A and B are shown apart, each in its own frame.
Chain A
Amino acid sequence: MYAIVAGGGKVGANVTRSLVRMGHEVTLIEQRRDRFEQLESELGPTVFLGDATEIHVLEAAGIARPPSIVLAVTGDDEDNIVISQIAKEGYGVQKAIARVNDPRNQTHFDLLGITQTVCATSGLLGLVEHEMPEHGLVKLLELRTEGLEVVELHVHGDAPAAGKRVAGIALPEGAKLVSVMRNGVGEIVREDTVIRPGDQVVAVLKPGVEEKLRRAVVGA
C-alpha cells in the first residue's frame, strides 16, 4: 500500500514509523526545515520537504499515482481540509483521513465533505465523560455520515426510568433502547425488561435527540 502523510509532528511521525514497520510505502511531507532534517536522519528518503497544501509538492510526493490513503495530520485545521480536498477531489484518492485540532472546527470538516476525521480533544472528552457518570449520557459511537449514534445512559435511583418497564418509558421519536448492563452482565432489552437503579442502558438514536432521551431515562 502507498500512503502519503502530511505533517511530521508527533502524530504524523509516529504513524509513518508504524506504516513503514508494517512494510508499507510511505511519503511523509514536512514543511519546517529543522523538523524535516531531524526526521530525514531517522527515516531517510521517506521524508519530503515542502508545504503539503501546495499542489506541486503533493504531485512530487506522488499524489497522482494515487496513494491508497492520505493522512492530513498537520497542526492546522485549514491545511488539513485543503490537503484532503485536493487529494479526494483533485486526484481521486479514495481514502483521506484528517486530523481535527480544534473540535470547534469539526462542523467545517463535515460541511466540506471530509467525512473521516480524528479529534484527540473530543476523544479525550468522551473518556472523561465516561468516568463521570453523573452526566448521565455518554456517547459511545457516532456514525456521522450515516446519521446514527450509540450512547450509554446511567440510571440513578431517582431517574424517571428507574423501576419502569421499557414499554412504559416515553422515549423520544428516533431513539431505541438496545441493551442493559447490570452487575457486569449485558442483556438485550425486551418490552417487558424492567430498568433498575445502577443500570447502564445502551441506546441507538438519531442525532439531535440525545437531550430528550437523557431527560426521559435519567432525568434533568
Chain B
Amino acid sequence: MIVGCGRTGSSVAKKLAGAGWDVTCVDEDETALGRLGDWRGGFVVGHGMELEVLERAGIANADAAVIATDGDNSNVVIGQVVQRRYQPISVVVRVLDPRRAEFYAERGLQTVCPTKTAIATLVDAVQASTAEPVGSSG
C-alpha cells in the first residue's frame, strides 16, 4: 500500500508493481491516478487518516506500507497508526524535516529523509569539485 501518490509515491508504486508486487495507491486527489500511467494496480481515493480508506486499500493484508504524502505530520501519524494497528507489516515513512525524521526514527518508526540525502549529496558534490574553498592558502 502506498499512501500519497505524488511524484515519489507514484514512482515507488510503479517500480514495485514492475518488480511483481501487488500495489494499491491511496490519494485524496483522483487525478493522481494520472501519474501512474497504464496502471493495473489498485487505487483508492481518500485520506490516509481515515481507517476506512486504509482498509479499503487492503491494509489488513498488506506486507508493506509506504507513507509519502506531502505532509510530514500526516505521514508520521499515519505511519504510527498503521504500525500499531496492523502490525506486523513493514512501514516506511517519508519525512522531509531531518529533525522530525530523527525524532520518530528513535521511536521505532522507519523514516526516510530525502532532505538529509540531498544535503549530503550536495556537500559531497562541492567537496569533490577541483575548486579550493575561498580563503584557503595552499
Q: Is the pair A78, B81 in contact by a Cβ cutoff of 8 Å?
A: no
Query: Is B16's CB within 8 Å of the partner chain A?
Result: no
B28 contacts partner chain A, Cβ-Cβ < 8 Å? no
Closest chain B CB from A171 CB (angstroms)? 31
Q: Can you name the residue of chain A whose Cβ is closest to the Cβ of B50?
A: A104
Bound form: Cα–Cα A172–B50 in Å: 32
Q: Which residues of A contact B50 (CB under 8 A)?
A: 104
Is the beta-carbon distance between A78 and B77 smaller than 8 angstroms?
yes
CB distance from B46 to the nearest CB of A (A): 12
| Contact residues in A for B72 (Cβ distance below 8 Å) | 53
Which residues of A lie under 8 Å from residue B100 when comparing CB positions?
53-55, 82
Report whether A86 and B103 are in contact in the complex, using a CB–CB cutoff of 8 Å: yes
Secondary structure call for the A interface: helix
A104 CA to B48 CA in the complex, in Å? Answer: 12
B138 to chain A, nearest CB (A): 36
Tally of A interface residues using CB under 8 Å: 19
Q: Which residues of B contact A81 (CB under 8 A)?
A: 73, 77
A188-B107 Cα distance, complex, nearest whole Å? 48
Do B80 and A112 touch (CB < 8 A)?
Answer: yes
- How far does the Cβ of A57 sit from chain B's closest Cβ, in whole Å? 10
The bracket for how many chain B residues form the interface is 10 to 19
Number of A-B contacts (CB under 8 A): 43
A82: B residues at CB distance < 8 A = 73, 76-77, 100
Q: Which residues of A contact B97 (CB under 8 A)?
A: 54
Q: Tell me which residues from 90 to 133 in chain B have a Cβ below 8 Å from any Cβ of chain A.
A: 97, 99-100, 103, 107
* B7 at interface, CB cutoff 8 A: no
Interface residues of A in 106-143 (CB under 8 A from B): 107-108, 111-112
In the bound complex, CA of A53 to CA of B51 (Å): 24
- For the complex formed, measure the closest distance between the CB of A27 and the CB atoms of chain B, giving whole angstroms: 19
Contact between B49 and A78, CB atoms less than 8 A apart: yes
Instruction: Please determine whether A105 and B99 come into contact, CB atoms closer than 8 angstroms.
Output: no
Q: Mark A63-104, 1 if CB is under 8 A from B, else 0.
A: 000000000000011110110001001100000000000001
- Asked if A144 CB lies within 8 Å of chain B CBs, one says no
Taking a contact as CB atoms under 8 Å apart, the answer to whether A111 and B73 are in contact is no
Question: Is the CB–CB distance between B73 and A76 below 8 Å?
Answer: yes
Residues of A within 8 A of B (CB): 53-56, 76-79, 81-82, 86, 89-90, 104-105, 107-108, 111-112
CB pairs A–B below 8 angstroms (30 shown) = A53-B73, A54-B97, A54-B99, A55-B99, A55-B100, A55-B103, A56-B99, A76-B73, A77-B77, A78-B49, A78-B73, A78-B74, A78-B76, A78-B77, A79-B73, A81-B73, A81-B77, A82-B73, A82-B76, A82-B100, A90-B103, A104-B50, A105-B49, A108-B49, A108-B81, A111-B80, A111-B84, A111-B85, A112-B81, A112-B84
Seed contacts A53-B100, A81-B73; 6 additional CB < 8 Å A-B pairs: A53-B72, A53-B73, A55-B103, A90-B103, A112-B80, A112-B81
